[in-house]
Amino acid sequence: LPNTAFLKRFRLTKEAFEYVLNNICLTQSDVRAVPPVLQLATTLSHLASGGYQHSVGSDYLIGICQSTVSKLTSHVLKEMEAKLCPQFIRFTPEDSLTCKEWFVQEYKIPGVIGCVDGTHIGLQKPTVNEHMYFNRKGYHSINAMIVSCHYNIFLEYMYCQICDHTYKILAIDCQYGGAAHDSFVWTREEFW
């Protein structure tokens, strides 16, 4: 693909894609038959499109069934969390102070380092543990908890994210289906 088409499809440059591929381990999974480059491409395409897993799998460049897209996405995100997050995602006392100052300046609210809200990201009906993904709104989803220093934060496809006031992601968690209540997700987060 030309560089511009690659960037549009995967939201990364070719160099950044290679960096991620070389710094995570994508060989140890139950989807070993899918080459690591295709595992990463499938996951990034799914995240970049904001669409359903089926449409990503049906893509002419990828051609993978929905259940495999689901497994790949979960596996790749866990690898990225384990290998890349410790390297790039930090929340220092200085960062906390900066967020507090921003909230006082923008909204005159002292002592705030973030806002929390939950949202549901729609999925096709899963074939395994379907009941865990069926939410109270009547469709299948993943319960995404969003924490940000800005109320109007962007939401691409992150299952659980913490962002500072500059929208830098500070934590990710992708383990709860749409049937999980926001309070359940909140009380089980390990980054508090």
Structure confidence at residue 21 (pLDDT): 95
Structure confidence at residue 34 (pLDDT): 86
Structure confidence at residue 55 (pLDDT): 57
The two structure tokens encoding residue 91: 């929340």
Tell me the residue length of the chain. Answer: 192
Exposure string (b/e) for 34-61, b if CB count within 10 Å is 16 or more? bebebbbbbbbbbbbbeebbeebbebee
Low-confidence stretches of the chain (pLDDT < 70) are 28-32, 50-62, 89-91, 115-118, 145-174, 189-192
Using DSSP bridges, classify how beta strands 169-172 and 160-163 pair: parallel, antiparallel or unpaired.
Answer: antiparallel
Helix/strand/coil for 59: coil
pLDDT tens per residue, range 13-69: 999 999 999 999 887 556 668 889 989 998 888 887 766 554 555 565 667 777 787
Measured in degrees and rounded to the nearest 5, phi and psi for residue 43 equal: -65, -50
| Sign of the CA dihedral running 168, 38, 86, 160 | positive
Using DSSP bridges, classify how beta strands 115-122 and 169-172 pair: parallel, antiparallel or unpaired.
Answer: unpaired
Structure confidence at residue 13 (pLDDT): 92
Structure confidence at residue 135 (pLDDT): 87
Structure confidence at residue 28 (pLDDT): 56
Structure confidence at residue 186 (pLDDT): 74
Structure confidence at residue 88 (pLDDT): 75
Contact (Cβ atoms closer than 8 angstroms) between residue 148 and residue 127: no
CA distance 5 to 12: 10
Residue spans of the domains in the chain: they are 3-86, 89-188
CA distance 150 to 164: 7
